[in-house]
Amino acid sequence: MTIRDYQQADYDKLYEIDHAVFSKEIAYTHSEFRWYLRSRRCRTLVAEDAGEIVGFVTASVESRNAGHIITIDVAPRRQRQQIGSRLLEAIEAWLWEKGAEAVYLETAVDDSGARGFYERHGYFVFERRAGYYNDTLDAYLMMKTAKRSMA
């Protein structure tokens, strides 16, 4: 498996994976997704195995000292194969390199699997945001500091 930068030809497959992984309420619309993929503050890394895209992660540099993981998606049939962990590690390395002292992300409160995944990678719940997803579903704001990443 290789991890590489996003290419425009990847768009349809990434959009398909996002909609296979997340419910309609959480998955990105075409316009939201395109905005993140085109933003100069964002970077998208793609996991590819034998020529097949199996996952991706998008993150942004929010300020000189904060990084934001916007989404991390692994094709449902390829989950629990360390793909998400490798994508997370790669994007965190980029964010730390860019000077982030902390990295944060949001995850739905009803997704205990995602919360557990992030906790295993050193993230902690910082706060709960009411109605974060389309004013209907709460999210946990989770964070990892550079100090925690070294532990």
The pLDDT tens digits of the residues spanning 6-17 come to 999 999 999 999
pLDDT digits (tens, 9 = 90+) for 68-119: 999 999 999 998 889 999 999 999 999 999 999 999 999 999 989 999 999 9
Strand residue runs (E) in 18-111: 42-49, 52-63, 66-74, 102-108
Rounded Cα distance, 122 and 58, in Å: 19
Q: Which two tokens stand for residue 138?
A: 């709460």
pLDDT of residue 147: 63
* Residues paired with 142 in a beta bridge: 105, 125
Within 8 A by CB and 6+ apart from 36, the residues are 28, 42, 44, 58, 60, 70, 71
**Tens digits of residue pLDDT in 18-42:** 999 988 878 899 999 999 999 989 9
Q: Find all residues with CB under 8 Å of 66, minimum gap 6, and list them.
A: 100, 101, 102, 103, 104
DSSP summary character for residue 144: E
- Ranking 5-14, 49-58, 135-144 by mean pLDDT, the lowest is 135-144
Pairing verdict, β 52-63 and 42-49: antiparallel
Which one, of 121, 105, 1, lies nearest residue 57 by Cα?
105
